[in-house]
């Protein structure tokens, strides 16, 4: 468990709230994020289709 300790006083709740605010995730969801392979979004798929179309037009 993470905590802030200032002048001998422990602030666990405040530390968790700060971490969630800064990192944008709850500790209850776990801290592991798989960054090996990104998952495409609809916008990415459209951009990829446009890029492939432009490439085939150029060839």
Q: For residue 26, what pLDDT is reported?
A: 54
Q: For residue 56, what pLDDT is reported?
A: 74
Asked if residue 15 belongs to a domain, the reply is: yes
Asked if residue 49 belongs to a domain, the reply is: no
Residue 16, C-beta contacts closer than 8 angstroms, at least 6 positions apart: 2, 27
Residue 18, C-beta contacts closer than 8 angstroms, at least 6 positions apart: 4
Dist CA 31 CA 18 (whole Å): 15
User: How many domains is the chain partitioned into structurally?
Assistant: 1
Residue 15, C-beta contacts closer than 8 angstroms, at least 6 positions apart: 2, 3, 4
Asked if residue 3 belongs to a domain, the reply is: yes
Asked if residue 9 belongs to a domain, the reply is: yes
pLDDT in tens, 7-45: 777 778 888 888 888 887 655 555 556 666 666 666 666
Asked if residue 44 belongs to a domain, the reply is: no
Q: For residue 14, what pLDDT is reported?
A: 83
Domain that holds residue 7: 1-26
Q: For residue 9, what pLDDT is reported?
A: 76
């Amino acid at each position: 468990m993470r905590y802030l300790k200032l002048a001998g006083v422990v602030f666990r709740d405040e530390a968790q709230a700060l971490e969630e605010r800064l990192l944008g995730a709850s500790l209850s969801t776990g801290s592991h994020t798989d960054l090996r392979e990104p998952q495409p979004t609809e916008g990415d798929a459209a951009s990829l289709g446009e890029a492939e179309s432009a490439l085939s037009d150029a060839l």
